[in-house]
Amino acid sequence: MSILRQIGLYVFAIALFYAGVTHFMYDHGFAAMLPDWMPLKLIIVYVTGITEWLLALLLIFPQTRRAAGFATAAFLLIVWPANFYAAIYAIPAPWSEETNQTALWIRILFQPLLIWWVLVVSKNSNQV
């Protein structure tokens, strides 16, 4: 694995783990990003936080890295609608009370970049 890919992997894993931590620090803010009709919002927030921790950990180990990369990409696709909901209804970031509409829509554009990033850094070294 090249040094740049390895650095990218660890930066991604650390960021993903920290994202999981924020789900417990700002649980009600994350719950606000879910539609009113959705039940058990706080449980969903906690489960997604724990999922981010597990995925981050599994990305670190070579034996589980590739599967964790695919699982992380799928996870990012699954949670993407929450970002759309937040942008459409001007729900601020979980740690903020202010809404910057432009930032909310830009966040949506970064999701494909994150998916690409995790797929690249989790690729097996012997793959092209």
CA–CA dist 48, 3 (Å, integer): 30
Region 26-45 average pLDDT: 94
With a pLDDT cut of 90, the percent of the chain lying above it is 77
pLDDT exceeds cutoff 80 at 66 = yes
Task: Provide the pLDDT for residue 99.
Answer: 78
Region 77-106 average pLDDT: 87
Q: What is the dihedral of CA 101, 45, 48, 8, to 10 degrees?
A: 40
Region 80-104 average pLDDT: 86
CA–CA dist 64, 85 (Å, integer): 32
Q: Which tokens belong to 26?
A: 């700002």
CA–CA dist 45, 49 (Å, integer): 6
Question: Quick check: 123 and 11 in contact, CB under 8 A?
Answer: no
pLDDT exceeds cutoff 80 at 15 = yes
